[in-house]
């Protein structure tokens, strides 16, 4: 019975200690404390939910200030340092709140600017107390000691460098989002872009343009009169420009900025000089954007255009011994990217 009583007393004491610790954490000993600022921030956000317009934004603004100040106060009472630096963990947390406050308000969430400026804000928050002496309301400005100045400069500079690298990451991601054909390039000689996964074969949008262009080209040439096709070939630049312009209005390409970096050009040759009425039409999709090779690259779709004899139609006025010539077109698949300048037009 005595043992059970002692166990109950021990359990009661353990529960009392937990309760005392929770009470000490949530109930401040004095009004001027970090808990008060946190409670003011919660109160401000609760009140702002009932307000509208500029009043709501103003109350929410002060709520953020109370939260940042309260968090900074709590985390600097007994700061834990990040290993290898003298930056407190609390400065990292406060820096994140400041970054969200500065860049995440309009987007209602975490933006790229939030992540980019987070290290710099954390370093500045770590460095600012070094310029003040004292605590609370009793403080004065001071110039840090020479050894402290070196630490501040190294910390702030390295944090700004980290912010620059993070910004570069987002810039590269935006490039790939707006110019997906960049993924088809070779990054083996790149100092900045490193593939962490096996390279995936990516077909540039120039190939998509050529594939979409083929049925329109066949519709314009196939089974048309040979005289009409020869006139079409004489004005091939303008005709292909019109066809490719319609393709660039496709939703998949219209939303990408790179649609303006592809140039469509024809190259017309006569493969057999003895047969002057046969033509090779090479349609080039030329990439004018950035490339690992200064000469750039292009893709090619080759088409053979030849005349075929058409038997006279009974409904026409042609004599039985007369035949008409119509065009026949046959296109090969799109080539792989060809490094170098495209062949000159003849």
pLDDT for res 157: 92
In tens, the pLDDT along 330-343 reads 899 988 888 888 88
pLDDT for res 289: 83
Whether the CB-CB separation of 305 and 221 falls below 8 Å is answered with: yes
pLDDT for res 167: 92
Q: How many other CB atoms sit within 10 Å of the CB of residue 115?
A: 18
Q: Where does the pLDDT of residue 284 fall: very low under 50, low under 70, confident under 90, or very high at 90 and above?
A: very high
In tens, the pLDDT along 100-126 reads 888 866 556 678 888 899 999 988 888
Mean of all residue pLDDT scores within the chain: 77
pLDDT for res 5: 46
Rounded-to-integer distance, Cα 46 and Cα 43, Å? 5
pLDDT for res 162: 93
In tens, the pLDDT along 228-252 reads 888 888 888 888 888 888 787 765 6
């Amino acid at each position: 019975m005595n043992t059970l009583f002692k166990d109950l007393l021990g359990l009661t004491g353990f529960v009392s200690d937990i309760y005392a610790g929770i009470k000490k954490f949530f109930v401040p000993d004095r009004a001027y404390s970090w808990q008060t600022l946190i409670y003011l921030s919660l109160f401000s956000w609760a009140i702002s939910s009932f307000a509208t317009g500029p009043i709501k934004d103003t109350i929410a603004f002060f709520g953020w200030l109370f939260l940042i100040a309260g968090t900074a106060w709590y985390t600097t009472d007994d700061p834990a340092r990040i290993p290898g630096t003298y930056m407190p963990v609390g400065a990292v947390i406060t820096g994140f709140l400041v970054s969200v406050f500065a860049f995440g308000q309009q987007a209602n969430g975490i933006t790229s600017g939030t992540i980019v400026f987070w290290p710099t804000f954390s370093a500045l928050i770590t460095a600012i107390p070094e310029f003040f002496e004292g605590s609370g309301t009793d403080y004065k400005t001071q110039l840090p000691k020479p050894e402290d100045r070196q630490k501040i400069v190294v910390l702030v500079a390295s944090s700004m460098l980290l912010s620059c690298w993070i910004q570069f990451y987002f810039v590269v991601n935006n490039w790939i989002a707006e110019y997906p054909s960049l993924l088809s390039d070779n990054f083996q000689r790149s100092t900045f872009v490193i593939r962490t996964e096996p390279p995936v074969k990516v077909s540039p949008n120039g190939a998509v343009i050529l594939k979409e262009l083929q049925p329109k080209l066949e519709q314009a040439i196939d089974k048309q009169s040979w005289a009409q096709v020869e006139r079409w070939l004489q004005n091939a630049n303008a005709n292909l420009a019109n066809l490719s312009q319609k393709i660039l209005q496709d939703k998949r390409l219209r939303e990408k900025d790179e649609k303006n970096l592809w140039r469509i050009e024809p190259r017309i040759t006569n493969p057999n000089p003895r047969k002057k009425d046969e033509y090779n039409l090479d349609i080039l999709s030329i990439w004018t954007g950035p490339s690992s090779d200064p000469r750039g690259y292009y893709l090619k779709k080759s088409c053979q255009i030849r005349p075929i004899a058409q038997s006279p139609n009974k409904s026409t006025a042609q004599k039985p011994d007369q035949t008409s010539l119509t065009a026949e077109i046959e296109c090969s698949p799109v080539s792989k990217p060809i490094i170098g300048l495209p062949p000159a037009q003849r």
